[in-house]
Amino acid sequence: MMNHTNVVKFISSSILAMFTAWFGEIGPLICILLICMIGDYITGLINAGISGTISSVRGIKGIAKKCYNNIKGNKITLSTAYRL
């Protein structure tokens, strides 16, 4: 029987392996980015809960904005690197 620590290790290593297979060497960096985004979302939920302004619509808009900014930023970075 697997304990909770082994389950977490199994799931996290499986996700990392999947991203590495899909994106090559940049896979672990994408995982780190996702972990930071999830942490940012959780701290935002905590802050909104404390201040009493929690809203699902506002949360979805925040996630969409964050994804858009990451894609836009990556396009700028890639286009700049391509020009060099």
Which token pair is 31? 């995982």
Number of neighbouring beta carbons within 10 Å of residue 33:
13
Q: In this predicted model, which residue has the larger pLDDT, 26 or 48?
A: 48
Q: Give dist(CA 23, CA 48) in Å, integer.
A: 34
Query: What digits encode the pLDDT tens for the residues 12-36?
Result: 888 878 877 877 777 677 778 778 8
> What does the pLDDT read at residue 57?
86
Q: Give dist(CA 24, CA 70) in Å, integer.
A: 19
Q: What is the pTM of this model?
A: 0.54
Which token pair is 75? 């396009």
CA dihedral sign, ordered 21, 68, 63, 40: positive
Domain ranges of the chain: 4-83
